[in-house]
Structure 1
Amino acid sequence: MASTKTQANYGYCESFFVESYDDTDGIFARAAAERERSRAMSKVQQRHMAADLSRLTSEEYLNDVLDHMEVMEAETMPDINSIEIQTEIQWFMRPYLLDFLLEAHHAFQLLPETLFLAVNLLDRYCSKRVVYKRHYQLVGCASLLIAAKYGDRKERVPTIKELKSMCCSLYDDDMFTQMEWHVLQTLNWIVGHPTVTGFLEIALNETSADTEVQNMATYISEMALYHKDFIPVLPSVMARSSLALSRYVLGRAQVNQPEWAARYDANVVMDLSNQLARPSQALFRKYSSSHLSNVATTLEQFLQRQSMMQAQQTVSQQPYPSPAQSTLDVQQVSGAMMTPQTPQKHVYAAVPIGVLTPPETPEKDFYDNPTYNVNQNLMHRLHACTTVNSAQNVQSYPYSSYPTSYPSQ
C-alpha cells in the first residue's frame, strides 16, 4: 500500500526497482508506446525538415554548382586526337572492352555514374599513355576499380580477385595494383569528373520527367559510349541531347522554356538518332529488363515504326511500282535505317558461364572471316581461359621495358 500511495503522490516511476501492485490497466505499457510513437513522429518531422532545407539549399546554390560542374567537365575531357595515334589500340576493339566493363558493372551492381566515370578514366589514360593491346583490358579493369572506389558503395567495390577471375587469370594480382597506381599517377590524381548521370539529375529536376524518360536517356547515353564520335561531346551536352531525343522517342512534350535543360545540341541529337539502330547486345539485354522500363524494346519498336513509315512514304511516291520493286525498296529503306552500326561480337550458341568477353582483344580479320567455325572458336576460348600462362603472355613484357607507358616494378 505504501508503494501505491507513493506512486499516487509522486507519479509513476520507470525504474525497474519500484514494484507496482496496481498495473491492471497497462498504464506503463501505454506510456511506453506513447513515447515510442512520439519519437517516431519526431524523426519523421526531422527528415521532412532536412529534405526541405536540402532542397532550398540546392536551389539557392544550383547555378554555382552547375557552373563548377561545367568547368570541371571541360578540364577532365579526353583528347581523341591523342587516342587516334595509338599504335596497337584500334577503334574496333572499343566495343569488346566496353561490353566487358558493362557486364562487370552490372554484375557488381554499381551505380550508373560509375560506368561513365570508368570510361572517362580509360579514355583520359589512353590520351596520355601508349597502351598495348595485351594491356587494354587491364587498363579498363583498373579504371572501373578506381571509379567504384571513388563514388560507389564500399561493399560493392570489386576486389582484385574478382576482377582477375573475370579476366580468366590473364593478369597477376600485382599487375592490377600497379596499373591502378599508374592510372592515378598519369591523371595527376584528378579522378572527379561530372558524368552524364549528374547532369541528367539536374535536368530532370528542372523539368518534369518520369522514370521511363530517365531510363531512355541513360540508355542512349550509354549507347554513345561505344562510338568514338561522341568522345569529344561534353557530358552536359550529351545529357540534354539524349533527354530531348528520349522525349521524342517516347512521345513526350519537349521543354520549350528558356531553362538550362532545354538547351540541347541539334547536331548531337541528329548524330545520336543515327546510332540507335543496332546497339550492343549486352547493352540491349541490360535495358530490356522491367526495372529499367524495357526501354530497349520500346526503342526497337519505335525504329520499326519509323522504318515502316519511311518505306510506305517511299512506295507512295512511285506512280506504278511493281511488287518486286516494292519489296526491294522496303529492303533498301530498312537497310538504310540500320547504318551506321555498332561493331558486333559473334553470337554463340552456348557461352560458358563466367566467360564474359575474350581475355585478349581478337584481331579484326579473325572475326571478319566468313568461313570461321563457331565451334572451333568456342573451344579456343575455353582452352585459352584454362591453359594460358600469364607469365608467358604478360610477364615476358615487364613494365620496365616500357618506361613511358607503365610503372617499373
Structure 2
Amino acid sequence: MAYQQQMQSRYGHCDSYFVESHDDGIYAVRAEARERARAIARLQQRAMAEDLSKQTAEEYQEDIMDHMEHMESETLADVNSIDIQTEIQWFMRPYLLDFLVEAHAAFQLLPETLFLAVNLLDRYCSRRVVYKRHYQLVGCAALLIAAKYGDKKDRVPTVRELKSMCCSLYDDEMFTQMEWHVLQTLNWVIGHPTVDAFLQVALSEGQYDAEVEHMTLYIAEIALFHKEFVSTRPSVLARSALALARCVLSRVQAKPQDWAGAYDPQTVMSLSNHLYQPSQVLSRKYAHMHLSSVSATVDEFLQRQAQIARRAAAPPTPPTSAVLEETKAGADGNLTPHTPQKTHYGAVMQHGCLTPPITPENEQFGYGNMVKPQPIPPQMYPTTPTPDHPSNIHQHQAQYYMQHV
C-alpha cells in the first residue's frame, strides 16, 4: 500500500502500473541501427568467406580437377550397351529430352541438374533393359534424383507434379519404385562432373561473359540430343562447346596454355554440324532475353555463313568481250543465257536431312506402339547439280561468237 501511494505521488493516479512513454521513436531508431549493423556484419562475413573459399580453391584446384576427370571417366555411359536395347531406339531420344527440357525449365532447376539427369538416364539404359512404356518413367526418376542431389530444396519436383506432367500414365508408387531401382542399379553413385561444372572452371580463367556462358550451354544441350556425344567426356565437350560459342560470338579464344584452350577440333566440327536444326523446344527456351537470346544469334550466324558459302560457290564472271556479244545478240531478239533458278529441293537440302525425325501422328510418347519413321526415298534428295566447267563455258561462248559475227 505504501508502494502504491509512493508511485501515485511520483507519477500521478493511474489504473495500471504501465506508463506510456513519448520516447518510442528513439527506441525505434536504435532498433533500426542495430539491424543495419547486423546486416553489414553479415555482408562482411560473407565477403570474408568468399575470399577464404577462393584461396582454398586456388590451393586445391589441381586436386579438384584430377578428381573431376577421374569421376567423369568412371560415370560415363556406354553407347554400345544402349545400342543393344530391344525396345527403345535412338529416334525416341529427342522426344524424351524435349520433355525433360520442358520439365527442367518449368521447375526452374539449375543447368547442371539437366546434364546430371541425362547422365543418370544413359547410365541406367547402359545396364538395364528398358521397355518402351517405361522410358519416360526412367527419365522422370533421373530428373527427380538429379534435383534432389544438387538443386535447391524448394524447387525439387514432387511425385504429384511429375505425375501430372506425364498425364497420369504412371501411379505414385511407380515413380518411387523406379527412383529406388535407378539408385540400386547405379550403386548409389550419383556424383558426376557435368558439362556445366567444367564450364565454370573454364570461365573462371578469364573475364566473365554471360552471353558466352549461355551460348555454350545452348550448344552443350544440343549435343544431348545426339548419339555421338553420349560417350564424350564432359570436359572435352565443355571446352569444345566453349570454343564454338566464342567463334559464333566473335570472341577471343582462350590461350593454348590455358585449360580452356585445349579443346578438341574434331568435337568442335561435330558440334557445328548439329547447329542447323536444333530441337524446337530447346530453341524456344534459349530465345528468352534472360538467356541472351542465343538461339536467334545462332540462326543469324548460320545465315551469314550460308551467304558466304553461296558467294564462294558462284561461277566465275565471263570475259567482258563475251558479255558484250551476248548483250548485242539479246538486242537482236535472240535468246540470251538466264540465271539458273533454284529447284524445289532447296529448302530440304540447305542444311541436310531433317533431324530429329518427325513425330508419328496420333501417338503419345512412351505409350502404345510407336512406329519408327520410314527412311525417306533416295529420289527425294537429288544430287547437287554441278555447274559446267569453266573451260566448257568458254568453249560454248567461242562457238556462239563465231556464229553471230
Normalized against structure 2, the TM-score is what?
Answer: 0.77
Alignment partner of 1:38 is 2:46? no
Mapped contact 2:132–2:366 kept (Cα < 8 A): no
Mapped contact 1:287–1:296 kept (Cα < 8 A): yes
CA distance in 1, matches of 2:118, 2:240: 19
Alpha-carbon offset, residue 341 of structure 1 = 4.7
Residue 164 (structure 1) aligns with: 163
Alignment partner of 1:137 is 2:136? yes
After TM superposition, the structure 1 = structure 2 runs for residues 156-305 of structure 1, keeping only pairs within 5 Å, are: 156-305=155-304
CA distance in 2, matches of 1:214, 1:250: 11
Alpha-carbon offset, residue 39 of structure 1 = 2.9
Alpha-carbon offset, residue 316 of structure 1 = 4.7
Residue 355 (structure 2) aligns with: 342
Alpha-carbon offset, residue 282 of structure 1 = 0.5
Alignment partner of 1:363 is 2:358? no
Alignment CA distance shift 1:340-1:245 (3 Å)? farther
Unaligned runs of 5+ in 1: 1-16, 371-409
Alpha-carbon offset, residue 22 of structure 1 = 9.9
2:260 aligned partner, one-letter code: A
Mapped contact 1:137–1:360 kept (Cα < 8 A): no
Larger Rg, first or second structure (1 or 2): 2
Alignment CA distance shift 1:209-1:186 (3 Å)? same
Residue 74 (structure 1) aligns with: 73
Residue 95 (structure 2) aligns with: 96
Alignment partner of 1:325 is 2:340? yes
Alpha-carbon offset, residue 38 of structure 1 = 3.1
Mapped contact 1:95–1:226 kept (Cα < 8 A): yes
Q: Cα deviation per residue 1:169-209 (whole Å; 9 max; x = unaligned)?
A: 22222111111111111111111111001111111011224
Alignment CA distance shift 1:94-1:22 (3 Å)? closer
Alignment CA distance shift 1:365-1:129 (3 Å)? closer
Counterpart of 1:315 in 2: which secondary structure? Answer: coil
CA distance in 2, matches of 1:64, 1:149: 26
Counterpart of 1:203 in 2: which secondary structure? Answer: helix
1:360 aligned partner, one-letter code: Y
Alpha-carbon offset, residue 317 of structure 1 = 4.3
Residue 60 (structure 1) aligns with: 59
Alignment CA distance shift 1:323-1:260 (3 Å)? farther
Counterpart of 2:170 in 1: which secondary structure? Answer: coil
CA distance in 1, matches of 2:264, 2:281: 28
CA distance in 2, matches of 1:292, 1:270: 24
1:343 aligned partner, one-letter code: P
Unaligned runs of 5+ in 2: 1-16, 320-335, 378-405
Aligned alpha-carbon RMSD (Å): 3.0
CA distance in 2, matches of 1:362, 1:282: 24
The percent identity for this pair of structures is 57
Normalized against structure 1, the TM-score is what?
Answer: 0.77
Alpha-carbon offset, residue 344 of structure 1 = 4.5
Mapped contact 1:277–1:341 kept (Cα < 8 A): no
After TM superposition, the structure 1 = structure 2 runs for residues 140-151 of structure 1, keeping only pairs within 5 Å, are: 140-151=139-150
Q: Cα deviation per residue 1:260-298 (whole Å; 9 max; x = unaligned)?
A: 111100000000000000000110110011111000011
Mapped contact 1:288–1:297 kept (Cα < 8 A): yes
CA distance in 1, matches of 2:125, 2:254: 37
2:234 aligned partner, one-letter code: P
CA distance in 1, matches of 2:64, 2:310: 47
Alignment CA distance shift 1:323-1:148 (3 Å)? farther
Alignment CA distance shift 1:296-1:303 (3 Å)? same
Mapped contact 1:168–1:359 kept (Cα < 8 A): no
CA distance in 1, matches of 2:26, 2:140: 62
CA distance in 2, matches of 1:280, 1:336: 18
Alpha-carbon offset, residue 227 of structure 1 = 0.4
Mapped contact 1:315–1:326 kept (Cα < 8 A): no
Instruction: Work out the number of aligned pairs and report it.
Output: 345
Mean Cα deviation higher: 177-186 or 311-320: 311-320
Q: Which one scores higher on RCO, CA 8 angstroms, separation ≥ 6?
A: 1
Residue 112 (structure 1) aligns with: 111
Alignment CA distance shift 1:253-1:323 (3 Å)? farther
Q: Cα deviation per residue 1:278-330 (whole Å; 9 max; x = unaligned)?
A: 000110110011111000011011101111110111115475996543645x9
Alpha-carbon offset, residue 359 of structure 1 = 4.4
Q: Cα deviation per residue 1:78-120 (whole Å; 9 max; x = unaligned)?
A: 1111111111111111101111111111111111111111110
Residue 11 (structure 1) aligns with: none
Q: Cα deviation per residue 1:141-160 (whole Å; 9 max; x = unaligned)?
A: 11111111111122221122
